[in-house]
Structure 1
Amino acid sequence: MLRESILVCLPERLHPVSRIYLDNWLTGDLSTAEFLRWFHMPNSDYISVAKCILTVASGA
């Protein structure tokens, strides 16, 4: 399942706001563009986390 496979990308503690954006993206309530725009807002270090998530999700 996608949710379990992206765990390798996530930091030990994910900011709660980023968790909301991630959950909304995983359920299809948020486009990938919106996910990329907002996921890293609480922590700019999450830019690389978002890229990792998208890589895992694409199966690459």
Structure 2
Amino acid sequence: MADVVQQIDQLVAKAQKAAEIMRGFTQEQVDKICAAMDAASVANEVKLAEMAVEE
């Protein structure tokens, strides 16, 4: 259980660091990230749907 808590703490710390970095992004940078996320979801829509059903 301690390993899980430690792993969660590490993931939260990484997410907080990433959020701090992203706060400095311009709107153009955010738009590019969103466009890339959209393209990735479309390119992987079948796999994502299969994973959703499994979950």
Give the TM-score normalised by structure 2: 0.30
The answer to which structure, 1 or 2, has the higher relative contact order (CA under 8 A, 6+ apart) is 1
- Higher helix fraction: Structure 1 or Structure 2? 2
Answer with 1 or 2: which has the greater Rg. Answer: 2
